[in-house]
Amino acid sequence: MLASAERVRTTLDHRLPDRVPLDFGSTSVSGMHVTCVAALRDYYGLERRPVKVIEPGQLLGEIDGELQAIIGIDTEGVSRRMNRFGFPMADWKPWRTPQGLEVLVPGRFMTTTDESGDILLYPQGDLSASPSARMPEGGYFFDSIIRQQPIDEEKLDPRDNLEGFGPISEKELDYLQAEAARAAATGRAVVASFGGTSFGDIAHVPGAALKNPRGIRDITEWYVSIVTRPDYVRAVFEGQCEIALKNLERVAARVGDSVDVINVCGTDFGTQSSSFCSVQTFRELWMPYYQRINNWIHENTRWKTFKHSCGAVQKFIDSFIEAGFDILNPVQCSAAGMEPEHLKQRYGDRIVFWGAGVDTQQVLPFGTPAEVREQVLRRCEIFSASGGFVFNTVHNVQARTPVENIVALIEAVKEFNGVGR
């Protein structure tokens, strides 16, 4: 039987491993809501204690070693010490969710509640700044607050949208080196999110870590700018790419072969039925910078490159491959043109599918355990042929997903892999 890391590496090389490798929790787009993690711990009879929130915006929960072993997870994540709200993932303290679950959050996770009952989250944990994210009353995650300043076309400066990008600090490098070593020692495949390489990712455009964001920070205005201000957007990407390449060189010198996969990009290009731009626009505006990043990685490391994009992205996949991406996530099979059989047949020998295991919009949250089992088994059958498939749900497991359905998913993967027989 292969060790977890070798199992993942085998399938990333488009060879058939001993069983389908499984990821949960290695990235911010392949995890579980903290309430689901707590429910799984209860289901399996693990010690009752607060679960760490390892991604404050989406309230993703830490899947620790005990639960990893039960589920059969083959991956281990490494992320930056500083999160996208500008405070470190350290100095953990108790916090109670709107549903009454006690969890652990970073010490600089600072909130207030407004007159409507919404919970406000503050950049860099500074309560004197304007809040940068909001959780509606009774909600389960935070949405960015748009803090767009009036735009003066004559004074627009791409450097304003580069605020928040810069040389990685020695302290951060020390942290990543230690984290990569820790992760590699688990025997699981190491999936790293070093940040700074996701061009135009809407999760980052609003500048949630900044106290006074400048430039183009409104999400709608940013999308409009792709058409009306392409030179501005291109200048932002150019500056970001130069910074990213210098940082990658310094990171690679520290972590080396401890890392197996790097999460390069979380920019979404697909909607449920269409896309945010044309293939031509992608190739003209985004692709040159992805190629530079991916080429550097492939020329200087053994890391595989991970591209996240939700939605109907079938028409982009050839360009993703040409841009140098090795992996596509989350493989939203419910979107237009994303039929599993077609994707595997047309692209399966050229890109790894990481996700696709079960639909998180309908089947997992609202189906029966039997329906979950049926879809998981069918997706594993389709995507695992000849390797090139890492099982994960289609994006994160959302709050209020019945724990019985999550268990059905886990047991179906074990059934397909012949584990426990």
Tens of pLDDT, residue by residue over 157-174, are 999 999 999 999 999 999
Tell me if 236 is assigned to some domain. Answer: yes
Domain count, the chain: 1
Tell me if 320 is assigned to some domain. Answer: yes
| pLDDT, tens digit, 9 for 90 and up, residues 395-417 | 999 999 999 999 999 999 999 99
> What pairs with residue 144 in β-bridges?
133
Going by C-alpha positions, the residue among 191, 42, 38, 183 that lies closest to residue 104 is 38
* Section 200-209 average pLDDT: 96
Residue 116, pLDDT score: 96
Question: Hey, is 286 helix, strand or coil?
Answer: helix
Tell me if 141 is assigned to some domain. Answer: no
Percent of the chain scoring above 90 in pLDDT: 99
pLDDT at 320 over 90: yes
Tell me if 142 is assigned to some domain. Answer: no
Residue 420, pLDDT score: 67
Tell me if 110 is assigned to some domain. Answer: no
Residue 1, pLDDT score: 80
Which string of DSSP letters, residue by residue, matches 133-161? EEE-TT-SS-EEPP-PPPP-GGG--GGGG
Residue 2, pLDDT score: 87
Are the C-beta atoms of residues 405 and 360 closer than 8 Å to each other?
Answer: no
Burial (CB < 10 A; 0-12, 13-18, 19+), residue 397, is buried
26: CATH: 3.20.20.210
Tell me if 282 is assigned to some domain. Answer: yes
Tell me if 302 is assigned to some domain. Answer: yes
What whole-number distance in Å separates Cα of residue 89 and Cα of residue 79? 10
Q: Which domain holds residue 339?
A: 4-91+148-417
